[in-house]
Structure 1
Amino acid sequence: MNKKLFTLLCSIAPMLTFAQEKGLDQQIDEAFGSATGWFVNFIFYQIDFGGGVKVFWVLFPLIIGALYFTIYFKFINIRGFFTSINIVRGKYDDIDHHESMHGAGDLTDGDHIETIAIEDHEGEVTHFQALTAALSATVGLGNIAGVAIAVSIGGPGATFWMIVAGFLGMASKFVECTLGVKYRDIEEDGTVYGGPMYYLTKGLKTKGLEGFGKVLAALFAIFVIGGSFGGGNMFQVNQAFQIVQSITGGTESFLYGKGWLFGLIMAVFVGIVIIGGIKKIAKVTDKIVPFMVAIYVAASLFVIFANYNMIGDAFAQIFNGAFSPEGIAGGAIGVLVQGFRRAAFSNEAGIGSSSIAHSAVKTKYAASEGMVALLEPFVDTVVVCTMTALVLIITGSLTGAGPSSDAEAILLTSSAFGSVISWFPYVLTIAVVLFAFSTMISWSYYGFQGWAYLFGRSKKMEYTYKVIFCIFVIIGAAASLGSVIGFSDAMIFAMMVPNMIGIVILAPKVKAELEKYMSAIKAKK
């Protein structure tokens, strides 16, 4: 990272300490909350079904859309599962290698006539790197904190509905990430620009909805920028700091009141990575994500099998609770808490964000990356979230009122592991920091793509965004800006609106891409 950026970050840190002492952050937060409260309340409006069952309205387009895609693509989330694994393993690399596409395919369906001539460029990252880059933005605090809150509210039955939501989300992820690759832009130097902004404009243009597509794309770009600063940045670093401070002694910790210092350190590391773009981000995430997920799952399995005599009872609680009135209410709330209010619906299926990372993949078949992407909700929700829930249920940690915040929820999960593996809370703290770090660097890429769409692709615009992002890292760790983060979370879920409209309309394009890729696989056999 260049010296100017480092100097700027250092100069901001003392100002944040002063702001904390004077309560300036609280004043800003209150004023911001008053100005934006209407938007947050609208996005997170809950429909009251009576009997204490309240469901966020945004659940319906996400789940109904996912169910529609599951049926429309004939359960691609199940029948395409092993094909997806083989793609990541490299089994079909020989048919998916990039070659000249001059004159190939139908150039009249919006498949970027202006870029197809230079698609000899392979893209920027491999299938595996694209998957880990997207996973790094989803696997994190929501899997640890969100599950604890969800299961404490809805009981063990909430786990069942998380798994169902994860399976359904695989179909949505397949659709949006296929479109992300199909309609991406590739610069002369091979730099990829992709995501909902591009398939909303190019794709809807082929449907005679060019103006509508541009409006939806602009809205999405605004929402993804806001989401990247808050939920994808400030919230992550703030929660990571809270956990580190707690594990090192709480009010007696050497870090107590020094959020700015923690934020500055994180900002430096984030800056070093994001300056290098998606290739640098992917090189980091393809090491951090598999390593941390493997450690977390291994520790979960150790706790589960150390109490093997309770496994049957745990699953009985999950299935019995899922179909009781309390379980159904709790399951819905569990899915919502896990995804809507912290880790962006955990796997972000239907939100559209992951398609930005997947767009950078090296491939000539758009559906190949869509197939890879459907593994993301499986790993994030079906595997990692289920592991967390089983640990909490088996260790009997869900007693009392349950956690009231994400920080408390992470500590609850930490103590559940600690009851079987005494030293694991320290490992989990490191995992939380690394999960937060990987989420931040991936969301910086998402936000930058929206920024570049709105303000241009110049180096000046690129570094302007990245400097602002690093500044928000420090602010997030040092300040109490709940309303700002709440507004940002609302913007993340607002991304769903333009995205879901677009991907439903463009589903036939995805079906054509899938048929083309599956035909290539059959020809190989």
Structure 2
Amino acid sequence: MNELNNFLSVVDGYIGGSQWFVFLLLGTGLFFTFYLRFPQFRYLRHSIRIVRGKFDRKGDEGDTSHFQALTTALSGTVGTGNIAGVALAIHLGGPAALFWMLVTAALGMTTKFVEVTLSHKYREKAEDGSIAGGPMYYMRKRMNIQLKNKKVIQTGKVMGALFAFATIFSSFGTGSLPQINSISNSLFETFGINHILTGAVLSVLLGLVIIGGIKRIAKVTSKLVPIMAIIYFLGAIAVISFNYQNIIPSLMAIVGDVFTGTAAAGGFLGGSIAFAFNRGVNRGLFSNEAGQGSAPIAHAAARAHEHVSEGLVALLEPFIDTIIICMLTGLVLLSSGVWKEKLPNRFQETDLVALAGQYTEEDNTEREKLFEFLSGETTLPLFSGSLEVADGTIINPPTILHSRSVAENIKVWSNNNPFSGTISFNSGKLVSQAGLSLSGNSLLHSAPLTTVAFTRSWMGDYGKYIVSIGLLLFAFSTTISWSYYGDRAVTYLFGIKGIVFYRILYVLGFFLASFTDTTIVWTLSGITIALMTIPNLIGILSLHKEMKNEVKLFWKEWYEHFPGKNTPGL
């Protein structure tokens, strides 16, 4: 597992975790924001009116309403990224990472507007009569290169196939694996429910829902999304108001640390400007999926006579998902202070590393060395060898890091009983033994961190139930939506005959991920996100003139139908 995670981390470092990917993503959003004259602000009010159905026409072709398409796409984005992803971003980069998540969302509103409009324009009917759409369709039709001799190079067909394959993999890496992984971890921490039992029960429910296709999926998500949003919102407000004295300092840290990096605090060893920027943008994309090309697949099924109108509906998603919900989560984490506290937890092997020698956070020089080591700027000698353990306590332990912090009060367990004997490390990594585990005090990240934060209010320990229930609803609805994205990609590549095999594999992967290591799942997710995003961004940038023309035609037609009305597009 460690070797696999290390390999995936190297791959992710060259694509999703690299600076050029971040600049491509933000640069695309920034370009369209200026090119289309800030549509995310000018058209926001009009987007809400479209969702309410004020401009619907009878006879519009599609499988879902504007609201159902919005909630389906939102259910695909509102998930672990809002609960676990925000916590991971702050854990890695400090408060400034939240700032970059919000910037990504603001620019992502425009990106999503563009990608949904173009995908809705080039949607098709599948063999079974259902609507099929997404970036792969506009790529196939509009991305081919015509030479001077009129010969056509089928680059669009290749890009469409690449995107579709990436979508299938990403449906596992984004929609299936990390969602159930976070659900099972949260339910285990809160209720003590076995990971495998959680995976088995939810796998059956998932199978029952996705068999019904987009219409059943839309009905389920249109009910789940409002319920889960209200529950989570009320719980978050309770925590923030309880810690009201920390609201202003938290907001100041979000903005102030952007230009200075986050200084060491508590168990947090520090966060650089570059790392906060990279992780904030990366987690922002995972949260709202703007530019990834997933939401256009759901919106392609919407009943709309104008492609731009559906793009305006999609414009709301990053605003709701990241600017509202992720900001709430971020303020919960920062105002409660749990992001820099060492808390009791069971250690995960992929987050664990033993150093040769003793280091302390109290010494500024040694703390700086630890920070540079965790940031990949320098190396430190790793521990290899055996350690004696007596009644769960390691005799003469080296410095052990867990979750980017110096672990304390370490205990060794064998099948939940104090262990006595010998444990071994090889190049800093624990040599696995059946039933062997370590626990102690260290920083937390992902869903467990948010779970603890929700207990810091008048609700006390009951607050963790809100996270568990919210995460269950958020993540499960995301899994449902991503199954649809995957089966549309399968339809594009293999026809409707391949859908049944895909759904079986999807549910099976969902079950297996319920008891798979969290870190590996998140690393895989970052890779699959990038593999979808890159061809989609290249595609929408190449069609920028067509997009601008679509917007002009939309507002011209709108003015002809509603003369005298306030028209934000003209």
TM-score normalised by L of structure 2 = 0.74
**Residues 100-135 of structure 1, C-alpha deviation per residue, up to 9 Å, x if partnerless?**
xxxxxxxxxxxxxxxxxxxxxx20111111111111
Give distance in 2, aligned partners of 1:378 and 1:70: 15
Please, which of 479, 504, 507 is the counterpart of residue 467 of structure 1?
A: 504
- Which residue in 1 is equivalent to 2:544? 507
Among 436, 440, 446, the residue aligned to 1:409: 446
> Residue 119 of structure 2 aligns to a residue in which SS?
helix
Aligned to 2:233, the other structure's residue is in SS state helix
Q: What secondary structure does 1:345 align onto?
A: helix
In 2, Cα distance between the equivalents of 1:400 and 1:155? 13
AA partner of residue 42 (structure 1): Y
Deviation at 1:80, TM superposition (A): 0.9
Alpha-carbon spacing, 1:481–1:346, altered in 2? closer, same or farther (3 Å): closer
Give the 3-state SS of the residue equivalent to 1:364 in structure 2: coil
Structure 1 unpaired stretches of 5+: 1-25, 47-55, 100-121
Higher share of residues assigned helix:
1
Aligned to 2:359: none
Report the Cα distance in structure 2 between the residues aligned to 1:389 and 1:66, rounded to whole angstroms: 23
> What is the rounded CA distance, in whole Å, between the counterparts of 1:89 and 1:352 in structure 2?
24
Conserved? CA contact 2:450–2:467, under 8 Å: no
Match of 2:114, as an amino acid? V
Single out whichever of 265-274 and 227-236 deviates more from structure 2: 227-236
Match of 1:89 among 42, 52, 76: 52
Question: Kindly tell me: are residues 126 and 331 of structure 1, through their superposed partners in 2, closer, same or farther at Cα, counting changes over 3 Å?
Answer: farther
CA distance in 2, matches of 1:333, 1:98: 50
How many angstroms does 1:349 deviate by?
A: 0.8
Residue 105 of structure 1: aligned partner: none
Counterpart of 2:526 in 1: which secondary structure? Answer: helix
Which one has more relative contact order, counting CA pairs under 8 Å at least 6 apart? 1
Rg (Cα) greater in structure: 2
Q: Which amino acid aligns with 2:336?
A: T
Distance change (3 Å), C-alpha of 1:227 and 1:254: closer
78, 93, 97: which one aligns with 1:139? 78
Q: Superposed, which structure 2 residues align to 1:116-195 within 5 Å?
A: 122-187=61-126, 190-195=129-134
1:211-231 deviations in whole A, cap 9, x for unaligned?
Answer: 111111111111111111233
How many angstroms apart in 1 are the aligned matches of 2:100 and 2:522? 27
Distance 2:75 2:302 in 1: 16
- Identify if the C-alpha distance between structure 1 residues 334 and 444 changes in structure 2 by more than 3 Å, giving closer, same or farther: farther
Q: Equivalences for 1:347-426 in 2 at 5 Å? A: 347-400=288-341, 404=403, 408-420=445-457, 421-422=459-460, 423-426=462-465
1:149-196 CA distance string (max 9 Å, x none): 322443333332222111011110000000110000024764011101
* Mapped partners of 1:334, 1:381: distance in 2: 17
Q: Is the 8 A contact 1:169 1:349 kept in 2?
A: yes
Aligned equivalent of 1:312: 248
Mapped partners of 1:366, 1:34: distance in 2: 43
Q: Aligned partners of 2:521 and 2:235: how far apart in 1?
A: 35
SS of 2:14's partner is helix
Task: Kindly indicate which of the two structures has a greater share of residues assigned to strand.
Answer: 2
Secondary structure of 1:58's aligned partner: helix
Match of 1:288 among 217, 221, 224: 224
Q: Residues 123 and 190 of structure 1 are in contact (CA less than 8 Å); yes or no, is this contact kept in structure 2?
A: no
Asked if structure 2 preserves the Cα contact closer than 8 Å seen for 1:147 and 1:334, the reply is no
Corresponding residue for residue 516 of structure 1: 553
Aligned CA distance change for structure 1 residues 455 and 36 (closer, same or farther; 3 Å): farther
CA-CA distance at 1:424 after TM superposition? 2.0
Offset, 1:331: 6.5
User: Percent identity, aligned pairs only?
Assistant: 41
- The aligned amino acid for 1:75 is F
Q: Distance in 2 between matches of 1:161 and 1:314?
A: 15
Residue aligning to 1:299: 235
- Deviation of 1:238 (Å): 1.6
Q: What's the offset of the Cα at 1:286?
A: 1.0
Structure 2: stretches of 5+ with no match in the other structure? 264-269, 344-401, 405-442, 566-570
Change (3 A) 1:132 1:245: same
Please, what is the CA RMSD of the aligned residues? 2.8
Q: CA separation of 1:36/1:383 partners in 2, compared to 1, >3 Å: closer, same or farther?
A: closer
Q: Is the 8 A contact 2:133 2:296 kept in 1?
A: yes
Conserved 8 A contact 2:108-2:290: yes
Alignment: residue pair count: 454
Alignment of 1:451 with 2:394, yes or no, is no
1:14 alignment partner in structure 2: none
Q: SS of the counterpart of 2:23? A: helix
Equivalence for 2:478: 439
